[in-house]
Amino acid sequence: MHLTIKNMDENLARKLLQWRYEKPYDFYNSEVTEEELNERLDGSYKAIIDDEGNLFGFLCTGETAQIPVGHKFGVYKAKSIDLGLGMNPDNVGKGYGYQFGSFIINYIKENNPEVPIRLTVATFNNRAIHLYEKLGFVEKDKFTTDYAEFMTMIKEK
């Protein structure tokens, strides 16, 4: 499978916001609203396209990859590239995770050499945590919001 990164456009953002994950991953479902569209189109999101031209997944970097309440706990103080990512639910559970994650990490490293990569994941998402550990991330901090517990994970240079 060959993946490419493309700037997010409105059509791709609308597709992404319509994805529906099964429980308990429905936690990651969004709605098509003006606010959500604007966030996806602010330049921090990139579309990941497969070799058939389909929206395979996405990545985002910077503040949009953070959980805002995490700032109260100081989990985002260290210099890092914050990374958020998601895979089209049609592709989940089919063995693509490691290749997808590696592709994204390589892209981030090419554009930000020598800077650690940090991601934030809900602690119930064992599937993602297992993948991130295989990709070389280690647990850093935990914090709780009104709706879930999260952990940050770091991948050093």
Confidence (pLDDT) at 24: 87
What domain count does the chain have? 1
Q: pLDDT tens string for the chain (157 positions)?
A: 899 999 999 999 999 999 999 988 888 889 889 999 999 999 999 999 999 999 999 999 999 999 999 999 999 999 999 999 999 999 998 999 999 999 999 999 998 888 999 999 999 999 999 999 999 999 999 999 988 999 999 999 6
Between the CA of residue 107 and those of 29, 47, 132, what are the distances in Å?
A: 25, 12, 16
* Residue 133: CATH number of its domain: 3.40.630.30
**Cβ contacts of residue 29 below 8 Å, gap of 6+?**
19, 20, 21
Structural domain that includes position 98: 4-155
Its pTM stands at: 0.92
